[in-house]
Structures are given as structure tokens and as C-alpha cells.
Amino acid sequence: MDILKQITNPYLPSWEYIPDGEPYVFGDRVYVYGSHDRFNGDVYCMGDYVCWSADVKDLGTWRYEGVIYKKSDDPENEDLQGNLYAPDVVVGPDGRYYLYYVLSNRDFVSVAVCDEPAGKYEFYGYVCHEDGTRLGQGPSDEPQFDPGVLMEGDETYLYTGFCPIGDKSRHGAMCTVLGPDMLTVKRKSVFVVPATHNSIGGQFEGHAFFEAPSIRKKDGTYIFIYSSQVCRELCYATSSRPDGDFTYRGVLVDNGDIGISSYKRADMPGYYCANNHGSIVEIEGQWYIFYHRHTNGTNYSRQGCFEKLEEREDGFFKQAMITSCGSSPFTKKGYYPAYLACNLFTDVEELYVPWSGWMDDRFPKITQEGRDGDEVDGYVCNMRDGAKAGFKFFSCSDLKVVSVRTKGYARGKLEVRTRWDGGCLGSFPIEYANVWHDTKGSVDIPDGINSLYFTFSGEGYLQFGGFTTA
């Protein structure tokens, strides 16, 4: 069975690492622009910009559009020391597509342009004040970072900012208006959401701006999406105008499900967290939040995910739960690779990715074999006694788990539940295996919409490749 014919998280193949996703509908396709991590990467965003797209009616089948912009295409990056950080794209008044980005070792915004959404972008210029000084390098400028863009008439609203906790020289998310050439500052920067140190006592306290500004418009309301001071969550604020008076509205998604209490305590992490970056998009009348998760036990191998958004009674969005299915529960029977796990934890609660160059060996992680770019399925490795991998959701009707794929120096059993803390429905015996091995059995799953949780009980460290339903 081709599991990718269903919508999954991550939505791209498990060997592709595209964080910081900015989704847009152009024509009848959804295009996602993001930075580009590597498997076993040393730092953030080591790759060139690539693009993936999907038909608006089939979000389970994504097409690789190829490399759209290289690190070497920026004339300031001849030594390739600058990585391509999170970009954004906007359609200009001339109908062309403009790509805004900041190099990792620069503090100003670069722009590239293309005649089509996913063609070869060409360097266009730098965002500058009227006197030619680059925005970010003027005497009163703050450094530029993570550009988000919105076109209104012939003006471009550029949102930027990076505000580490403790750095009082940074004051919040900035909005700068550019003229019709897409480069020249028309109105100077204003702050639209405060940083941590200047949010005390205000509506943004506890969820102040950290990084990752993004902007969307819904029914005449401007929605500002950003990563907050706690790093792992994407929050949002709304306004009737694009350049100020934003009201804090809540959390859209948290990559550890902090704040979600339907299957655990609200403060219990359901996955190992780190930074977050993404945005929202309306597709066929439904709004979605795109975000990323962390794999390989570090911050530097991030993968894109998305969830369906639901509206609250006041018309704004509820916090989305992280899932394996992204939109609708899985309905097909067959093989499900373990990298689809949306919950991963042990009896020892750990909120953030526990690493110091490499993940603490007490904890499981999603990883892959081979090298970066090898098209092989990921899996869950290092499942010690008590480790849990959870998959949400399945539409169960006469469903059984009939085999599990494992290897590694482990002996014990792999237990199946519909809740991580629920009763065991059955288990599969685990023995030492040097290569991937399918252990057959039969565990009945109750009818209805259910999660599947697999808990390793035993000794050693188990590698979990996936499971088969029938």
C-alpha cells in the first residue's frame, strides 16, 4: 500500500527536511516555501531552497518542483558561509513572484524574483532605504530576520525580527512598508508585537514575539503568526490594519502539544520540542496550520507537518492537536511506517529536544539510515523500556494490528494500546534481530476513531520500523 496516498505527517517523504513552511495557493496547487535542513545536519538550513507542491484536491500527493534558488545565487554569499534562512514569497504588482530571505550571517533582506511560483529564481536586490542604506544597517535599524511579506495594492508589507530573551536591544516584530519596486522602504519600520522584555503587563506577556513572523488575511482581518518566547509554539494576533493594533488571540499549534489536555495533562509534552515556524493557508474552504517537528535528536533535521484548524465560537482558531494524519483519520489498511509517530516519549518527561551535540541516549528519536538525500523511510530508534510511540488517528472498523517491524539488541514485548496510559490490548514478542524483521500476530482494535500507541517493555534498545493493519 502506498501510504502517501493518504494525508500524513510529515506530509513530505521522510527523507526530506523542509522546516519554516510558508504555504500558498497559486492556481490549483498549494506551494510550500521553506528553508532546507539536512539529515545529520550540523547547523540550521544547510541546503538550497527547494519547492514542493500539491493539487488543492489531493494533499496526500506532493510533487518535488526542484531547486528554486541556491546559496551561491546571492552575490554577498560567494564564500557560501551564509545559509538560506526561512523565506517567504509574494506576488508583486507585475504578476511576478518575489522571494524574500535573510542569509544566516547577514542582517539585511535579500530578494529574488521568478515568473512562476516554482521556477528558477534570480537575484533581484536588497531591501534599502531611499538613500541606498540597506534596511537593518541604518543607524536606527534593528537587524532583519525571518521576512514575512504581504502585498496590498502596490505596497509590500515586510515583517521581520528576532528577539532572543534577555536581549533588550531588540524590541519586537517589525513591519516596514516597501514601494512598488518591492525593494525601497516607503514607510519606516514600526513594532507590531513586543519582545519578551517589553511585553510585561500587557496582553502578549508569556507569549511575546521571538521570531518567525508571517502574515495572512482572512475576511478583511490581518492575522499575524509568529513563534513566541517559549519557542515551540506558533501564536497569532489579529488587527483590522496590517501595521498595528494587533490583539493577541492564542496558540495555533505547539510542537509538543503543550496546552492540549484531551489525551494527557495540558503541561505534559507529547513530543520532544524545539523551535517552531510556519503559517496558515486556506485550501478549498478549509484553513490549515503548517509547522515543523524535530527529528534525529537535534534541532537541525526538521520536517514539515500540517493540521486542520477549527474555529472557536468567537470566529478565531482553536489550538490544533499534532497528529500523524494531518487532516482526516487514516482509513486504509496496510503498512504504516513508524516515522509517522506524532507522540514520542518515555516515563521520564522531557519538554525540549534533550541534546548536547547528540540526543541523550535515554530517549527515542525519529531518524533514518544512509546519508542525507537517500530515499529511505525513517524509523523510531532507541526505544528503551517504557518508550512510547503514538499514532493519531485511525478510523477503525474491524481493524487488527497484524505485524510489527523491528530490529536491534532488544528483548521483551511491544504492547499495543489506544491510549498511552490505557489498558494493553495485546503485544508482540521482541527478540534480538540484526536486520529488519516482521513479527506476526493479531491485536484487535476497538471500532471508532482511535489512536494507536506502541510501548516497548523489556531490555536493550529497540528500533521500530512500522506496523501493518488488516
CATH code, 193: 2.115.10.20
Number of domains comprising the chain: 2
User: What is the band of 470 on the pLDDT scale with cuts at 50, 70, 90?
Assistant: very high
Are residues 180 and 54 part of one domain? Answer: yes
Pair 299, 381 in one domain: no
Averaged over 130-135, what is the pLDDT?
A: 98
Is 249 found in the same domain as 205? yes
- Residue 322 falls inside a structural domain: no
Per-residue pLDDT at 4 exceeds 50: no
Quick check: is 462 in a domain? Answer: yes
Does the pLDDT at position 1 exceed 50? Answer: no
Q: Are residues 354 and 459 in the same domain?
A: yes
- 110 and 256, same structural domain? yes
- pLDDT tens track for 94-120: 999 999 999 999 999 999 999 999 999
Which domain range does residue 228 map to? 7-308
211 is catalytic: yes
Q: Is residue 327 part of a domain?
A: no
In-domain check, residue 124: yes
- For residue 324, tell me if it sits in a domain: no
* Each residue's pLDDT tens digit, 48-98: 999 999 999 999 999 999 999 999 999 999 999 999 999 999 999 999 999
Which residue in the list 73, 88, 141, 211 is annotated as catalytic? 211
Dump pLDDT digits (tens) for 325-372: 998 999 999 999 999 999 999 999 999 986 544 446 789 999 999 999
Count, residues in the chain: 470
Average pLDDT of the chain is 96
What residues contact 343, with CB distance under 8 A and at least 6 apart?
257, 270, 271, 322, 388, 389, 390, 391, 392, 420, 451, 453
d(CA 263, CA 299): 26
**361 catalytic, yes or no?**
no
Average pLDDT (160-186) is 97
Three-state DSSP state, 339: helix
Residues 355 and 275 in one domain: no
* Complete DSSP assignment for 193-210: EEBGGG-TTSTTTTS-EE
Name the percent of the chain lying above pLDDT 70: 98
Whether pLDDT at 315 is above 90: no
* pTM of the predicted model as reported, rounded to 2 decimal places: 0.97
Same-domain status, 105 and 187? yes
Tell me the mean pLDDT in the region 267-294.
97
Confidence of residue 2 (pLDDT cuts 50, 70, 90): low
Q: Which among 16, 20, 233, 377 is annotated as catalytic?
A: 20
- Residue 45: band (very low, low, confident or very high) from pLDDT cuts 50, 70, 90: very high
Same domain, 438 and 361: yes
For the chain, the C-alpha Rg in angstroms (whole number) is 22
| Residue-level pLDDT at 440 | 98
